[in-house]
Amino acid sequence: MRRIHARRRTAVATAWITSLTGIAAISTLLSGSAAVAAPMQPTQAIKAVPAAAPQSGSAAGSLLTTEQCRAKWRIACYSAIQYRQAYDLNPLYRAGVTGKGRTIVIVDPFGSPTIQKDLDVYSARFGMKSTHVDVVKWGKVPRFDPTDEDQVAWAGEATLDVEMAHAVAPGARIVLAETGVGRIGDGTSGLREVMDAEKSLVDRGVGDVISQSWGVAENSFPGFRKGDFSSIENLRYAFKDAAKHGVTLVAASGDSGATDTTTDGKSHYPYRVNAWPTADPLVVSVGGTQLHLDSKGDRIAPDSVYNDAGAGGGGLSHVFSRPSYQNAAEQVVGDHRGTPDLSMSASLKGGAWVYSSYDPKHVGWDVYVGTSEASPLFAGIVALADQAAGHRLGDIHQALYSLYAQSSWNPSTGIVDVKDGTNNSYAGVTGYTAVKGYDMATGVGTIDAARFVPALAKQG
């Protein structure tokens, strides 16, 4: 996200991480092997640039294997090929389920001037056919300035979002909606512009699933301390419109565990908070896991909670009451909306290779992490399920939790519980532990796509 927190991006990192804390953590983990740029406005994105990242066009040769990343930086780096194996996507592709005929919408301020070129390079490197990225500008989008840290930060977010969505759903059309206001963490003009862009696309029939890799703490909205949540409610018009038109909404859960960054983005709330839009009942909240893979993408250990340079967001909303679809998780969430709903890869110790050239001083491959990665990954899953169903699935919450209710005895649901006892405590705030069943560290768990996609298509 971004502050509007780019739910954390980091060329070795992506998503909500707190700027100063995140930078220190990543610097320590990489032992000086990476230079770190200032945090971004998207969900508190930070970007750590691996020292090996090329400065010229011959970027593909700079990719390191998972073993090389572990030896050089003490983290794992994963490719699109490994993700496809880890999430059991290849059987779907062999059956022709690639997202063909469906459209994924990604909304990010400013966007990237090199998004098509970068996706083409990314696709070619991993043996995928590229797709055309339709860029839609909303509002007064300034000409890209590579010296503007805010624009550069959002360009990285947009690149991550597009490449991750394509990695999962290579046959889907991608629309990148660029808005002109980058600082949306105050919950006012910037967010309204994003909502206007989303509603316009929905009304025009553009998009089957919308991925949002950003968020703002509920506590940061005007009126929150007085119990007045109208500033959030008044922004939900795009989401209500999407629900009416059968468009699925997906959002990153954040990268600060059970807390989140304050309005100025320089610190964390010292207690449990949640964020919007991840906590919105109309939005599928996607948390973060750490994958433990070998060079082929096969698991060498079960997934655990993303908790290294950042931590997967999760907890209770202070604005929204428990929606009926979470009745099965009432013993965990009580009377409030709980997040996340499920989780995908987001850990620094299992980051994703991403190619970019929007910054002429840094062209090549970086490793990104955070729930900014998880959200577009799952948006790709939804596109696959839409194709399998032959229609939009819309709000999938009821179907998701229905499958969850069956998952303990029915492996064909494709829902894989994450229950290894790891947690999302972060920034001194005690989080939640991954246990059997639903929890606010990883939601219902993660997925085996070969089973989950057809099950979701049928249930939906």
| pLDDT digits 0-9 by tens, 326-342 | 999 999 999 999 999 99
Q: Indicate the length of the chain as a whole number.
A: 460
CA–CA separation, 26 and 21 (whole Å): 9
Cβ–Cβ < 8 Å for 378, 345: no
Residue with tokens 């389920």: 97
Q: Where are the alpha helices (DSSP H) in 62-213?
A: 66-73, 80-86, 90-94, 115-125, 149-168, 189-203
Preceding omega of 109 cis (within 30 degrees of 0):
no
Instruction: Quote the tokens at residue 268.
Output: 């964390």
Residue 55 has pLDDT above 60, yes or no: no
CA–CA separation, 361 and 5 (whole Å): 24
- Please, what sign has the CA dihedral across residues 45, 50, 56, 61? negative
pLDDT band at 56 (very low <50, low <70, confident <90, very high): very low
Residue 30's identity, in one-letter code, is L
Q: 395: closest CA among 237, 285, 253, 235?
A: 285
Cβ–Cβ < 8 Å for 123, 166: yes
Q: What pLDDT does residue 264 have?
A: 80
Q: What pLDDT does residue 134 have?
A: 98
Residue 397 has pLDDT above 70, yes or no: yes
Cβ–Cβ < 8 Å for 358, 112: yes
Phi, psi angle pair for 316, to nearest 5°: -100, 140
State the chain's mean pLDDT as an integer.
87
- The 8 Å CB, 24+ separation contacts for 242-245 are 242/198, 242/199, 242/202, 242/210, 242/282, 243/282, 243/394, 243/395, 245/202, 245/203, 245/205, 245/394
Q: 255: closest CA among 8, 3, 2?
A: 8
Q: What pLDDT does residue 188 have?
A: 59
CA–CA separation, 220 and 211 (whole Å): 22
Q: What pLDDT does residue 38 have?
A: 25
Residue with tokens 């316009």: 200
Cβ–Cβ < 8 Å for 139, 107: no
Instruction: Quote the tokens at residue 446.
Output: 């993660």
Residue 184 has pLDDT above 70, yes or no: no
Q: 191: closest CA among 298, 263, 104, 86?
A: 263
Preceding omega of 340 cis (within 30 degrees of 0):
yes
Q: What pLDDT does residue 234 have?
A: 95
